[in-house]
Amino acid sequence: MSKEDVWTRTAVTVAALLGLALKLLVPERVDATAVALLVLALIPWMSSILQRIDTVVGGVVLREIKKTQAGQQQEMERMKFLFDHLVPRDELRHLQALADGSPLPYDNGCTRPLLDAELRRLADVGLIERRPGPTFAQMGEAGDVREHFAVTEEGRAYLEIVNAYRTRD
């Protein structure tokens, strides 16, 4: 605020207060004119007062918003960690293939021992379920995993959440 603004505001306030003082010194009661003079005395300062109030209230609100945003950011980082580590990349690929009907071949060579453990884990957390038929050991030397397992509703929900989350990044 410049010096000229302060002088102008002060002059208006002093003039209005002098008028109010004269009005009150007269033995008549306080009327609308006295109230109007009081309001006139305050008007030049109202913008400063309102700005201060706005700054204080806005500052408190802004701090609360920042605190909320920081909490949400931390929660998103936790969720990302869980999504990235709950189901490892290979298991996620198996789950996705079962969900979209892509072939998921296996054989007794290099894929079968790892695949058995990955499928067991997906089944244990409820993301896939066994179809009626042979056990893990009886699945045969080669085939397609889709003949023996299907994605559960929980598995589809998990994939939907993971895919939606990953497209946001």
Question: Amino acid letter at 37?
Answer: L
110-163 residue pLDDT tens: 667 788 888 889 999 999 999 888 776 777 778 888 888 999 999 999 999 888
CA distances from 155 to 13, 120, 159 (A): 72, 14, 6
Residue pair 167/161 in contact by the 8 Å Cβ criterion: no
E strands, 63-107, where?
105-107
92-116 residue pLDDT tens: 999 999 999 998 888 877 667 788 8
Q: What is the pTM of this model?
A: 0.54
CATH architecture of 87-168: Orthogonal Bundle (1.10)
